[in-house]
């Protein structure tokens, strides 16, 4: 079912291998830091809507790879019915794990849509996943999220420049945006995608439903919510906290773009969970961090 090629590449100091496999007509790319460093489980990263390993995990990938092996999947966007999107993407993650990290527990960490995909992957193949981290995820798309999705779709038709501004407005926390200069705001705005792939992923977002799969997640799970997240509001993360048996919960002071706003805090949370998933028991809300 899959073929793979390996091309050496480098990102900073991380010696990183790039590979790919095929599922049907989809090509799935992944990156592998290779170096085990320690006896810690490898971490598998799954990016969010409109993202990639590079754009969402430019910080997390190399910094986590300093202490443990990291594999990151660049999701391919399936063409079929949008309500099957989450399972089609979960299959990609499962295929990469089976190919690159067979027969060993991995810690699967997803961000945004990647959290939905990771939860689906863990719920449908509990044997592949030893620990699960869901950053800015959600349980089932609600009316508030559909309303935002409607605006996104309408602006894509009518005013792409306004759409980019709207994306920046939704993705980052109000306190962060308030600190930026005009030039920095424009740089953020221009970084957003509005292409067909992005649009297809937004359709998948409309149809997310983890209600059935969440109870099947058996491994220790860490839920990370952004306090100021407009796209996947923290109450959605709390719904995951309620739905997943072995879950613990924490918040970072951030908007949806926590991989940009609080990357070092995410490294802390992911690394600490990977080293000891049961440091806090199921049902725990992590103590507030006061640096």
Partner 1 sequence: MPTSTPDALRDVSVIIVGAGFSGLGLGIQLRRRGETSFVILERADDVGGSWRDNTYPGVACDVPSPLYSYSFRTNPDWSRMFSPGQEIWDYLRAAAREEGLGPHLRFGAEMLEARWNENDHRWTVRTPQGEFYGDVLVAATGHLTDIKLPEVPGLETFTGELFHSARWNHDFPLAGKRIGVVGTGASAIQIVPQLAEIADQLVVFQRSAPYIQPRRDRVFSEAEKNLFRRDQRTVEEMREMLFWYNDSRFAARRLIDDYLAEASWQALSHLDKQVSDPELRAKLTPDYTIGCKRILLSDDYYPAIQRPNVHLEAAALERVEGSTAFSAVGEAFELDVLVVATGFETYDLPSSYRIFGRGGNALADHWSNGMQAYKSIATAGFPNLFLLNGPGTSLGHNSVIYMIEAQIDHLLAALDWRSAHDGRVLEVSSDIENAFAKRLDEGAAETVIIRGGCSSWYLDPRNGRATLSWPDFAHRFRDECAPFDPAAYDHGEQSAARA
Residue 204 tokens read as: 């998948």
Give the integer Cα–Cα distance in Å for 16 and 62.
Answer: 9
Residues between 82 and 111 that touch partner 1 (CB under 8 A): none
Q: Tell me how far, at minimum, the Cβ of 69 lies from partner 1, in Å.
A: 16
The stretch among 10-18, 94-102, 121-129, 185-193 that binds partner 1 (CB under 8 A) is 10-18
126 touches partner 1 (CB under 8 A): no
Give the integer Cα–Cα distance in Å for 114 and 93.
Answer: 10
Give the integer Cα–Cα distance in Å for 70 and 87.
Answer: 23
The stretch among 18-26, 74-82, 135-143, 264-272 that binds partner 1 (CB under 8 A) is 264-272
Is 124:90 a contact under the CB 8 Å cutoff? yes
195 touches partner 1 (CB under 8 A): no
- The only residue of 17, 263, 284, 286 in contact with partner 1, by rule CB under 8 A: 263
Give the integer Cα–Cα distance in Å for 102 and 82.
Answer: 29
192 touches partner 1 (CB under 8 A): no
Q: Between 105 and 263, whose beta carbon lies closer to partner 1?
A: 263
Q: Tell me how far, at minimum, the Cβ of 111 lies from partner 1, in Å.
A: 16
List Cβ<8 Å contacts ≥24 apart for 50-55: 50/192, 50/193, 50/197, 50/198, 50/201, 51/111, 51/112, 51/114
Residues of this chain that bind partner 1 (CB under 8 A): 11-14, 58-59, 62-63, 66, 175, 253, 262-265, 267-268, 271-272, 289-291
């Amino acid at each position: 079912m899959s073929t793979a090629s390996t091309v050496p590449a480098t990102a900073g100091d991380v010696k990183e291998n790039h590979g790919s496999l095929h599922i049907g007509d989809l090509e799935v790319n992944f990156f592998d830091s290779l170096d085990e460093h320690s006896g810690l489980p490898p971490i598998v990263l799954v990016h969010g809507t409109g993202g990639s390993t590079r754009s969402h995990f430019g910080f997390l990938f190399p910094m986590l790879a300093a202490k443990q092996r990291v594999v990151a999947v660049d999701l391919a966007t399936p063409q079929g019915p949008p309500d099957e999107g989450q399972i089609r993407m979960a299959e990609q993650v499962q295929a990469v794990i089976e190919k690159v990290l067979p027969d060993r527990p991995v810690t699967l960490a997803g961000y945004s849509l990647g959290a939905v995909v990771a939860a689906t992957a863990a719920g449908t193949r509990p044997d592949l996943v030893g620990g699960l981290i869901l950053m800015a995820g959600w349980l089932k798309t609600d009316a508030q999220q559909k309303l935002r999705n409607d605006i996104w779709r309408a602006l894509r038709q009518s005013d792409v420049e306004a759409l980019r501004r709207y994306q920046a407005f939704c993705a980052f926390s109000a306190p962060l945006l308030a600190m930026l200069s005009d030039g920095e705001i424009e740089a953020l705005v221009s970084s957003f995608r509005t292409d067909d792939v992005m649009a297809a992923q937004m359709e998948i977002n409309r149809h997310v439903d983890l209600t059935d799969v969440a109870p099947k997640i058996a491994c220790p799970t860490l839920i990370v919510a952004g306090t100021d997240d407009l796209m996947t509001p923290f109450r959605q993360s709390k719904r995951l906290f309620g739905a997943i048996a072995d879950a613990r919960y924490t918040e970072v002071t951030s908007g949806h773009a926590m991989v940009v706003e609080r990357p070092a805090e995410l490294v802390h949370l992911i690394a600490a969970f990977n080293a000891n998933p049961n440091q806090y028991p199921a049902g725990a809300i992590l103590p507030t961090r006061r640096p």
